[in-house]
Amino acid sequence: MKVVIQPGAPFYSGQRKKARIIFSFLLLWFIIIFARLIDLQVIEHKKLKAIVQEQSQDLITVLPTRGTIFDRNGRILARSLPAASVFFSPVQGESFEHQVKGIYQLKTILQLSDSELKKIINSVEKRRRFTWIKRKIPLEVAEKVKSLKLPGIYILEENKRFYPQGTLAAHLLGGVSIDDVGLAGVEYYYNTLLRGEEGQQLIMKDARRREFFIETIKETKPGQDLYLTIDSTIQYIAEKELQQAVEKHQANWGTIVILSPRTGEVLAMATYPSYDPNEFPPPGNLMPNRAIQHTYEPGSTVKMVTAAAARELAGLSWNSFFDCSQGYLVFGGTIVRDHVRLGVLSFPEVIIHSSNVGAIKIAEQIGAENVYRMFKLFRFGEKTGIDLPGEESGVLHPLERWRKSSLRVAIGYEISATPLQVLRAMNIFASGGYLVKPRVRLEKPAPLKDVIPASFESLPEGQPILNSQTTAELVSRIFEKVVDLGTGREAGLPGYAIAGKTGTAQKYVPELRSYSSSRHVASFVGFVPADRPLISMIVVIDEPRGTFHYGGQVAAPVFREVARKVLLYLQQPPRKTADALIMARKDTSFQGVSD
């Protein structure tokens, strides 16, 4: 048997074995790589993409430019100006100590307080991707920050709310948060209109998380502009006279509201003490708009409603007389007093000289149901519906809950109202018998001097409440005489017919469960000129201290000075002769009555 041996066979067999091993290794390597690619590209794609984006991108909300607020003449009351905000976003691989060192370099430039620094450092220590350093700084300060070229420190362009008139109309305007969200006043009420729509910006970074470029993802939509009914000049006049009165009488606070009687447009709304909306929010005690957010027992000002009920619902004769000579009246377990003894008074004289005793006797004669019905017609206990936030409704108890003492509603007790509600009531007489809803928004600029003639060519913008004849008679027989002959003489203005009513209400002290003899609310509400009213106005002074505390002494002079300056501003010449006014003032035997 012949055996053939092939040279090199073992060597060839070994080569094939090695090739299989290498091939198997490469195949396994390829399978692992392929599986990993499948894992990265398919299974973990969304997660990994998010991680990459988180490491290289920051998505920031961009606030829109807030709409500008104008007065009725087009003067700017609030606007948004360019500003810059500084924020921190960490750089990859940078130590916490190095990050803090960069932030501390901004302390002096940005005037950061110790508490602000502590808050920022805590945020950085928690590895947060975004931390505000300082919001809404001037552009020149932002340039100083940018020049330092600190890693992780970025500048974002924003807008800052600016009120160029300072404290003017502060309570009406309100204010905004650091994020330009309205928090009070018209800024809050019309926030949706003023704010606009937010945008978004994408900050792209390189591998070391340094700024690369900024891309706008969504454009902002600016807010709409807003025109208000107020006249800046009239607002200024009201605020200055109010401030002087509050300080002169060392009062807690005061408020003035001025309306255009036939349209309900608010020409001025002032509260003092005030604040600067550029430094919003103010201290808590300065925040409330007292004209609509404070209720009080209005006292004798609402005797106008009692008088309307007497004529319109009960048909009380002008020649009805009431004995007020005793100076006080006991009824329903309470005592009602007059400020001075007044003798026997006719129905008009009861209101002219503000006799509490006489007003209660009138209310008893016409009946509680008629008194209540008229106060409901005048919408006491209901909000006026003004386009401002936080309005109080006041209190008018249902008739079924009235006691005999509840007839004191006729003299302004056991009822509460806001100053605006009392002015709305007097405005019914100024508008010829119409209940006009007050408002602060205009659709377009409308200077008051241009719309005055037109205001008398159409019916008032409201609901008829009183008969026009009844209204005219009450104005001429009572409310004008209040100023010419009665408690409101200090509101008189030579050359002009003024109609109005004084009020002096004792304040109830819950701790003592009684009314204070030393704490009062002094007020005057009226309109001018009496025959063709251009403005209606209320002045309320809380707790005047010193020699005077009656509405006729404290609030009526403020009404006079505001009215005088407003009429001068509106170029309205006097139409009532000074001699006639002097003679009318001499025709009175009740000098010194000041309720």
Portions of the chain given CATH number 3.90.1310.10: 58-228
pLDDT category of residue 213 using cuts at 50, 70 and 90: low
How does DSSP classify residue 404? G
Cβ distance 409 to 375 under 8 Å?
yes
Q: Is the pLDDT of residue 54 over 80?
A: no
Q: List the catalytic residues.
A: 300
* 232-284+291-586, CATH topology level: Beta-lactamase (3.40.710)
Tell me if 142 sits within 8 A of 109, measured CB to CB: no
Q: Is the pLDDT of residue 339 over 60?
A: yes
Q: How many helices (H) and strands (E) does the chain have?
A: 22, 22
184 touches 175 (CB < 8 A)? yes
Rg of the chain over CA atoms, in angstroms?
37
Q: Which of 58, 281, 66 is nearest to 158 (CA)?
A: 66
Structure-model confidence comparison of residues 365 and 509, the more confident one: 365
Query: What is the per-residue pLDDT for 594?
Result: 64
Model pLDDT for residues 97-134, shown as the tens digit of each residue: 888 888 888 988 999 998 999 998 888 887 777 889 99
Taking residue 16's Cβ as centre, other Cβ atoms within 10 Å add up to 9
The full DSSP string for 289-356 is: -HHHH--B--GGGGHHHHHHHHHHTS---TT-EEE-TTSEEEETTEEEE-SS---EEEHHHHHHTT-H
Peptide bond connecting 574 to the previous residue in cis, omega within 30 degrees of 0: no
| Cβ proximity of 439 and 228 under 8 Å | no
CATH 3.40.710.10 region(s) of the chain?
A: 232-284+291-586
**Residue 220 confidence (pLDDT):** 82
* Whole-number average pLDDT of the chain: 88
pLDDT value at 588 more than 50:
no
Mean pLDDT of 266-277: 98
pLDDT tens for 397-409 read: 999 999 988 999 9
Q: How far is CA 203 from CA 54, 64, 343, 477, in A?
A: 11, 18, 84, 74
Q: Bigger pLDDT: 378 or 573?
A: 378
Tokens read off for 246? 């509050």
Identify the pLDDT of residue 13: 67
514 - beta bridge partners?
Answer: 509
- For the domain spanning 58-228, the CATH number is 3.90.1310.10
pLDDT of residue 49: 52
- Say which residues have a Cβ less than 8 Å from residue 451's Cβ, sequence separation at least 6: none
Least confident segment among 41-45, 104-108, 313-317, 527-531: 41-45
Q: Higher pLDDT residue, 478 or 93? A: 478
Q: Which two tokens stand for residue 2?
A: 């012949």
State the pLDDT at residue 592: 47
Note the pLDDT of residue 235: 98
